[in-house]
Amino acid sequence: DAKTTQPPSMDCAEGRAANLPCNHSTISGNEYVYWYRQIHSQGPQYIIHGLKNNETNEMASLIITEDRKSSTLILPHATLRDTAVYYCIVRVAGGGSNYKLTFGKGTLLTVNP
């Protein structure tokens, strides 16, 4: 699996956009980028995933650079409830053992009032 690098912590003002970076310079062509988050005392929650095109859903947007060596998760209007640890995971799509997720240390995003 491609290794990911994320800043350990970030702050964001409530109502502003939160931009969380992830480096995955060793990503291979068939590996997807996935984002999960974990709010304190809860289980991780899936946010979004993508291969090479930018993706958007009701929770966030995912911007992947053209060379796919890095990506940014964007929470367009952060709220206090978005305070959580955000995990960037790179994994090959497919069945069997490819369903395993390896969580790193992630980024602790703190949204301030």
Partner 1 sequence: DAGVIQSPRHEVTEMGQEVTLRCKPISGHDYLFWYRQTMMRGLELLIYFNNNVPIDDSGMPEDRFSAKMPNASFSTLKIQPSEPRDSAVYFCASRRSGTSGRALSYEQYFGPGTRLTVT
Q: Which of 13, 16, 46, 69 binds partner 1 (CB under 8 A)?
A: 46
* b/e per residue 91-109 (b: at least 16 CB within 10 A): beeeeeeeeeeeeeebbbb
Q: Which is nearer to partner 1, 26 or 45 (CB)?
A: 45
Does 30 bind partner 1 (CB under 8 A)? Our answer is no
100 binds partner 1 (CB under 8 A): yes
Helix spans in the chain (H): none
Sheet architecture: strand order including 70-75: 18-23, 70-75, 61-64, 55-56
- Binds partner 1 by CB under 8 A, chosen from 3, 9, 13, 51: 51
Give contact residues for partner 1 (rule: CB under 8 A).
32, 34, 38, 41-46, 49, 51, 89, 91, 93-97, 99-105
